[in-house]
Amino acid sequence: MMTDVAGLFAEFAEKLSFPSYFGHNWYGLVDCLDDLHGSWHGKRCVVVVVEDADGLVEKDFFPLFIALLCEAAERANLSLDADGIPRGRPPFPLHFVFLLRRCEPREVAERLGIRDDIFIRQSEGRLLVWSQSE
């Protein structure tokens, strides 16, 4: 269960079949999410759905978690390496959907706060969050 950082890493590693080199840390998470498009995972488009995500919103690590998911998605979607340099492979869509039962999008936006690394926009009852690269 994703009740703490270790549980979050374990859940992602198990559900997404991360390779053995996953270091169970934030940047390892970004690397493995970006690598989902590699040959070991079928070179497919990926949508990660997090059900009952309300409990994550209140966690101290939630804003960092969201920012790093945005970073992983940007790297995959634009086919960039960790330094923002284009790679010699086609981009693959990587998206994350958080299903909330109790939290309103406004509450989630407030929890994320104003950040330099992500854009946050509410639209049609949904909260959209994406990376703000330089």
Q: What is the pLDDT of residue 133?
A: 67
In contact, 100 and 57? CB cutoff 8 Å: yes
In contact, 6 and 23? CB cutoff 8 Å: no
Region 93-111: mean pLDDT is 93
> What is the pLDDT confidence band of residue 41, given thresholds at 50, 70 and 90?
low
Which domain does 22 fall in, by range? 5-131
- Residues 6 and 23: their CA atoms lie apart, in Å, by 11
Q: How many domains does the chain have?
A: 1
Where is 95: in which H helix or E strand? strand 94-98
Strand 94-98 and strand 46-50: the pairing is parallel
> What is the pLDDT confidence band of residue 50, given thresholds at 50, 70 and 90?
very high
